[in-house]
Every structure is written in C-alpha cells, then in structure tokens.
Amino acid sequence: MAEEKEREGTEAIVADLHKKIKEAFEVFDHETNNTVDVREIGTIIRSLGCCPTEGELHDFIAEVEEEEPTGYIRFEKFLPVMTKALLERKYRPIGEDVLLRAFEVLDPAKRGFLTKDELIKYMTEEGEPFSQEEMEEMLSAAIDPESNAINYRDYIAMMVIDEN
Amino acid sequence: MGSSSSSQHHFAFQNAEKAFKASVLIQRWYRRYMARLEMRRRCTWNIFQSIEYAGQQDQVKLHDFFSYLVDHFTPSSHHEREFLNRMFTEERFAQDVETEKGADYESIEVPDSYTGPHLSFPLLPDHATALVEAFRLRQQLHARYVLSLLYETRKHLAQLPNINRVSTCYSEEITVCGDLHGQLDDLIFIFYKNGLPSPERAYVFNGDFVDRGKDSVEVLMVLFAFMLVYPKEFHLNRGNHEDHLVNLRYGFTKEVMHKYKIHGKKILRTLQDVFCWLPLATLVDEKVLVLHGGVSDRTDLELLAKLDRHKIVSTLRCKIRKESENREEQKRKVNQTSSGQRPTPWFLPQSQSLPSSPCHLGSGFKAYKACRSCSIPCSSGSVDHKEQSRRQVRRSVDLELERCRQQAGFPGIKEKREPLPWAPDDADCDADAGEVLEPTPEEWKQVVDILWSDPMAQEGCKANTIRGGGCYFGPDVTEKLLEKYKLQFLIRSHECKPEGYEFCHNRKVLTIFSASNYYEVGSNRGAYVKLGPALIPHIVQYQANKTTHRLTMRQRISKVEESALRALRQNLFAHSSDLLVEFKKHDASESGVITLSDWAVAVESVLHLGLPWRMLRPQLVNSSGDNVLEYKSWLESLAKEQLSRESIQSSLLEKLYRNRSNLETIFRIIDSDHSGFISLDEFRQTWKLFSSHMNIDITDDNICDLARSIDFNKDGHIDINEFLEAFRLVEQSCSEDHASACLQSTDTAESGQSSLGAC
C-alpha cells in the first residue's frame, strides 16, 4: 500500500514536471512541430531552474541530438533527459554565498570590488569565456561608472532581487 | 629550496585553478540569469502577439455577427429597417447634394492666427523639410494644405505604374523602410540618422504608414510631400492599412476626425481615393522586389502590372465584377436555389477564396502557429446543420432586405458609383451597362495576396486564415517566383519583428519593420535596409525612444513585461464569468480552492491564447504558497484593479470590456458621416442586436441607465468617445505621450469564444 502511494506520488511529480517542461519547450517551438533550435536549449534548461556550465550543456545537447545533427532538437528526445535531470537535481543553481566566495577568490586583496579591467580579464580569458556581447551586457549593469569597478556584494544583492 | 619552489609552484597552480573555477562559477550563474531574462522576453512577446492576433480575429467575428444578422434578424419596424439599410448599403461618401470640384479646397480660409506651416505648389525641397520640422515641433498642418497636398499627390500617383522601377544607377543607394503605423518619431529618426531624401538618396516606404500610432496624418503628409518633391527618387507602396475600411477599425479615421473636426470628412474622402492610387510594388534594378505583404503561388507580376489598381478600393471588401444579366437571374432565383448573391454589409471582409468562418480555430495563438505546420487548412468542423438552416433563413431575409432597399429608394444590389469630385474624365460614372468599374476576382485576389500574405517555414501555400486574407507562402513558392522573374530576393514588411528585421527562406525574403516600440516602449527595435549597386542588404536598427537606451536589458524587459501583463490581466478580467464557471468545474467539492495546475488548464480553455500559463502564473496570481488558489477572491482582486466607477456593475463592465473593440467599430460604422455622434435610438438598437447575438444578458434598462449617467447632448445624441471613455474603453487622450500604451488597450482581445458558441 505504502509503496503504491509512493509510486502515485512520484507519478504525480513526474506528470507535473512533464507539464512544466512542455510549456518551456513550447515557448521556443515556433513552428509548433515539437522541435526547437538547438541554440535555444540552453535557455530552456536554465529557465527550468538548472544552472549547467557550458561544458555540461554541451554534454546534455549531445544526449538529445539526433544521430546526424539537424540543428533541431525534438521534444520526444528532450523530455526524458530533462525530466531525469530535474528529478536528480542535476545542475543545481548556485547560492548567493557561493557566488560571493567566487568573487572573493578573484579579489584576494579583499577590497570588496573588482576593477572593470579585472572583471573583463577574468570573464573573457578564464573559465568558459564570455562572448563580447555577454561581456558588454554584464558590464552595463555591473560597473559603477564613477568608480569604474564592480562592487560585487551590491551587484549580487541587486541581481538576487531581480530574480524574485 | 627544491621543496619550497615546488610548493610555490603548487600554490600558484592551485591559485590559478581556483581563479578558473571561480570564473566558471560566475559565468555559469550569469548565463542562467540571462537565460531567464530571455525566457521572460519571449513570453512577453508571445503575450503581445497572441493578443494582437486574437484582436485580428475580431474582424472575423464581426463578420460572423453580421452574417448572423442576415440570417436571423427580421426587422419589425420601420426604424429597424432604416437602421439595417444603413448598414447594408454601400456608403459612398459623396452623397452630399453639392457636387464638389477639384479646386474645392481653395474655398477654405486659413486664419491669420494660424502659426503652422504654409504650403504652395509646386512643392520645393525646403517646404518638405520645413514640414518635418514643423511636425517635430508638434504643429498641425491646416486642413486647406492637407487637402491641397492630397490633391496634388493624387494627381502624381495616378501617373505612376502599378510596379515602380528604381535603379541604383541614378541614386547610389536606396533605403527601404517598412511599417511606420503613424509613428512620426521613427520617421524623423530615420531621416535624421540616414539623411533626408534627395536625388542621391532614394527611399522606398513599404506600406502601412497609418493606423495604431498617433501621428498617422503627419506621417502621410511628410511622405507625400517628399514624393512630390523628388518624384523619381521617393517611392511609396500600398500596404493593407492604406484602406479606409481598415482605418475605421485601427485608429486612423478616429485620428483624422479628432484633429480635423470641420474638414475631416473631406479629408477622409480624399484619402480613400489617394490610397487606391498608391502603387502596389517597387522593383529595384529588376532584381529586388519590394512589396508590403508577400506573394502566393499564383502571383502573376504581369497581371499585377496591367490591372487597374484604382478599382481596388479596399482589400477588405470586394465588389466583384459580374455581368448584369447574371445578377438579374440570380435575384429571381433567390426563391428556389440555396444561395443567391447574399447582400453583405459593405464594410465587411468578404473574401471569395477563403472559408467563410475561419475563426473557429480553438486556441487562437496556438492554432495560428499550428496552422503553419499542418498541411490541412483549418476548418470549422461540423457546422453543416446550421449551414442548412442558415441558407433557408437567409433566403427570406434576402427578400426582406431587397424590400427595404427598394423602400429606401436604393438602386438594389448593383451599386452605382457616384461622380468623384475632381475627375472630369470619369465620365464612366454613368454606369448602366458597358463600362466595367470593378476588378475581376482574379485581379482582386492578386492584390490581396501581395498586401496580406506572410512567409512560413514549411513548403507550400495555404490560406491565411488568421488575417482573413492572403496566404502563408513557403520557401518553395519564393524560389519559384524569384526564378520565374529572374529576381534575387524579396523585401516585405507587414509583420513586427523584435529586431526590426528578419531573414527567412534562405535569406531570400527580408522582412523589414520600421515602427520601433510597436507594442510598448522597449518591445522591439525598428530597422531599415540600404541597398547599393551590389544589392547587398545593409540593415540599420534603432529604437526611437531615448529612455530605453539608458536602461539595462533587464530594466527594458521589465517595462515591456509590465505592460504585457497589464494587458493580460485586463483580458482575464474580461472573462471573469467564464473563468468562474470553469474554475468551479475543477472544484467539485466546492471548497473554493483549486490547484495551480488546474488554474492553468482552466485559464487556457477560456482564453485560448496559447500562452505558457504556468510560467506566467507567479506574476498573475499571489497564491498562498501551498499550490492552491482561492479563485473567487482572485477574480475579485482582478476586478478591483479594473473598475474605475463603483456605480457600474462589474459584470456589465466585463461584457463591455470584452467586446469593446467590436463595439467601437460598430459605433463608427453607424456613425457613417463621422460626426462623432449617434442617436440614443441607434445606440439602443445596436446594443440590442449585438447583445442578443453574443448572448449577453443585459436589459434595456441597464443600457438606458448607463446612457443617462453620461452627459450627453440634450438632443438625445451620444458622443461615442464620451461613452467609451466613461468606461475606460478608449483612451481619449491620443495627443498625450502615453498614447502607445493607450492604443494597446483598444486593440486587445475579445476572444470570448465560449459565449459565441458555434456560430
């Protein structure tokens, strides 16, 4: 009995997840033929609450792509992989505190800020580098024009408010 | 030393690794943030589009309403007959007793107090430039000059071929601009950024100059002025909005009457003719075809070049040429056969090539998208029984209407064209037999196709049921056409794009849209395209609103999102009753709560907008947090937001809200002389008809009460604008700066499918 109930519970959760995934997918399914451009997969996954690295994203895409990549991802292939990822809580989002510590690593002198040049250097030369567009967009919101620096505590606080 | 250097090395390596990891973390987090923004942006866009398309379906619903009238309404009094007459008879504006001559505007005096620009002909470049400057300073051109400019424009246009040819030999570069929709700021910006028109700088404006925006008049004046000044270099194509019937609905008629209270009628009449004379397309270097909508698999450029474009007064209504004998025959046969030439209201979309009731598409926006992917055109399903009984009723109504018409002294089904004011050569207006004044069905279809069609990704060619005219054409259609006429690519407009432009069909079709911030400030960019002798398109984008430049992407998206959500909440409110019914279905135990999942399902089944409700839910519902919603109090909170007067019943307001776009259109049609007033009687009649068709439960008393609570003239007339304004149905202040937001509210959806049933 308990097992059955548990199964029902899981089924309900999965059903719910399926609806969520379908909805997110459909936002980008312009032709309504259950496919989306592969370049939108990142946006879809992230909007569902996941926070993969670019590397993880590439792996995910490899899993859902066709044998011969067409540039499009089909929903039938996407759904099971995405569901699994959500159930397993893969690609968990980063907490504020972790983010703060990451900035502090880049600011060993503990000044409380990074200069614009430092930010650019790290974001475009380290890790999984930003494109020029991404860099410009981040700078527009993050850099205080007077100090030409990013006060990362304030920045994080502002972004977190935005999200909610 | 060895160990210390290696530990230093190790330390350095660890630091580098840390920096690497930290960077990845930040990047990863940032990319997620941006992705969520992008999702919001897309959802917002979808909201606006779905509401816009649902609004377009209104036109179709109006058609259904009047079809219903024809089928079921038997006028029971002389008044009602008269009323029907007005709706069902061709309204040719030149019904005034005085015959007007071309130089009629000369009798209009310009007072000394007038500080606006003066025009004299022939127009010089300085005049045109001065005009732009004057409009930038918010001056208004005097009616006399408007009319004289229109007369000159008409004279010029009448000399032009249907398809204009432009060459990059003469002007080195050609700039093509898309829809402007009365947004003067965008036009001024284009001239500022790209330069004013000149012999070295050719321009092509690809239609839809008017409607929706608040400065359609000024936009037209500027475009016409430059065309007269630089006739070889400045070209205009007709768009589907260069059409007096479309203008009735989408704001241009209203704008003209508002700005020119005395001479507005004359101006509109003149414009009706000027619009018909606009060329249909422009060909650049014989290689690039520029037209407003698109093409179909039947598009025939030779036919388009030859036909008399002036005959196509409106693409919404087709007076098809028929031999007079045929008509007589059919009139006689009306008793016996199943469908005669059913008289239809002159202002209605009447397509010869589309299914009659294309509005039953289930979920509107999704179905729109779905249409593009299925190969079977959407049909209304099983309406056969209704169709049968309709035909029977129709026959008797046909007779009734014929009687009305004869009673009122009208010449019957075949209309005669009134002599037009300026053309002594229009001696063909004495149309008894011989002279043909109407286009053939084929000609009409050709023009509708190029003005209304949209490209689609799938191959093939399907009827464009959403717009009610034209088709969806696939890449194969484009390919065939380009090959047939040895063209390189197509430039068209007609559709709003977030970036102001979009390539499709393997870069063979370019959509260019020049009205930035079309839905809302920050919603989209505008763009124009430049072509040099190599005919390589060079796109320039812009957004004619300084405030958006200072905002971050997040802020821009938030602003537009707010506006979209407001429109959506209005929409939800307008369906409160139906939503309540639907919610109750999910609440069998009558607990007063439903799950949020059920909420999403219920809302979609009522609104049919095809939107991601689960995603939007956090912004529409403040739930208690445990995944359930008290739906009644939620609906109440929606109502509170919308109600401006406590004295008005919420249900009544809701009904008006839902139907306001149609109501306004109906009012304006009744107000055929554009006086801005209709009589209380006409108002009551309209309401009675409309509400019975829509199954709206409102008593006559309700209506009288409402009317009385507004200040209307003691002579029993209702100022249309006042009435609509009283319920915040129409934003009167078109001259104010927040007009763009206002104008949204006049076009938002009334997709009350459930109350329509299967009509």
> Could you write out the DSSP letters of every residue in B658-670?
HHHHHHHHHHHHH
**Which pLDDT score, from 0 to 100, does residue B562 have?**
82
Q: Give dist(CA B283, CA B164) in Å, integer.
A: 6
pTM of the model: 0.65
Where residue B695 falls among pLDDT bands split at 50, 70, 90?
Answer: low
Asked which of B131-145, B314-328, B335-349, B533-547 is least confident by mean pLDDT, the reply is B335-349
pLDDT over 50 at B253, yes or no: yes
Do the beta carbons of residue B349 and residue B314 sit within 8 Å? no
Residues 6 or more apart whose Cβ sits within 8 Å of residue B694: B65, B659, B752, B755, B756
Half-sphere exposure of B625 (CA within 13 A, CB side): 0
Where residue B65 falls among pLDDT bands split at 50, 70, 90?
Answer: low
Strands B173-177 and B201-205, by their bridges, are parallel
Residue B27 at interface with chain A, using a CB cutoff of 8 Å: yes
**Which pLDDT score, from 0 to 100, does residue B67 have?**
54
Q: Which of A45, A51, A106 faces B22 most closely, judged by CB atoms?
A: A106
Asked which of B6-20, B157-171, B452-466 is least confident by mean pLDDT, the reply is B6-20
First to last CA, chain B: 93
Alpha-carbon distance values, B190 to B124, B284, B515, B518, B550 (Å): 21, 20, 11, 16, 20
CA–CA min distance B637, chain A (Å): 22
Alpha-carbon distance values, B680 to B656, B669, B709, B718 (Å): 17, 15, 13, 6
CA-nearest residue to B47 within chain A is: A27
- B432-B434-B437-B440 Cα dihedral, nearest 10 degrees: 130
Q: Give dist(CA B524, CA B522) in Å, integer.
A: 6
Give pLDDT tens digits for B619-661.
888 766 677 888 988 988 887 776 654 344 555 566 666 666 7
pLDDT over 50 at B456, yes or no: yes
Give pLDDT tens digits for B528-568.
999 988 899 999 999 876 565 556 667 777 778 888 888 78
Alpha-carbon distance values, B126 to B123, B131, B154, B230, B734 (Å): 8, 8, 21, 12, 29
Helices marked H in B195-333 = 216-229, 244-250, 252-259, 264-277, 301-306, 324-333
Q: Which residues pair with B472 in a beta bridge?
A: B454, B462
Asked which of A65-69, B127-131, B336-340, B486-490 is least confident by mean pLDDT, the reply is B336-340
Q: Give dist(CA B443, CA A48) in Å, integer.
A: 51
Q: Give dist(CA B718, CA B663) in Å, integer.
A: 14
Residue B12 at interface with chain A, using a CB cutoff of 8 Å: no
What is the average per-residue pLDDT within B34-56? 80
Give pLDDT tens digits for B463-513.
887 666 789 999 999 999 999 999 999 999 999 999 999 999 999 999 999
Where residue B353 falls among pLDDT bands split at 50, 70, 90?
Answer: very low
Give pLDDT tens digits for A148-161.
899 999 888 888 77
B677, two tokens: 């007033």
**Which pLDDT score, from 0 to 100, does residue B508 have?**
96
Where residue A162 falls among pLDDT bands split at 50, 70, 90?
Answer: low
A59 interaction partners in chain B (CB closer than 8 Å): none
Give pLDDT tens digits for B661-690.
766 776 776 676 677 777 777 766 666 666
Please report the residues numbered 82 through 111 in chain A whose beta carbons come closer than 8 angstroms to any beta carbon of chain B: 93-94, 98-99, 101-103, 105-106
Please state the ipTM of this predicted complex: 0.93
% chain B with pLDDT above 70:
59
Question: Coil, strand or helix: which one is B622?
Answer: coil
B161, two tokens: 């071929």
B31 interaction partners in chain A (CB closer than 8 Å): 42, 46, 54, 134
pLDDT over 80 at B430, yes or no: no
pLDDT over 70 at B207, yes or no: yes
Do the beta carbons of residue A116 and residue A148 sit within 8 Å? yes
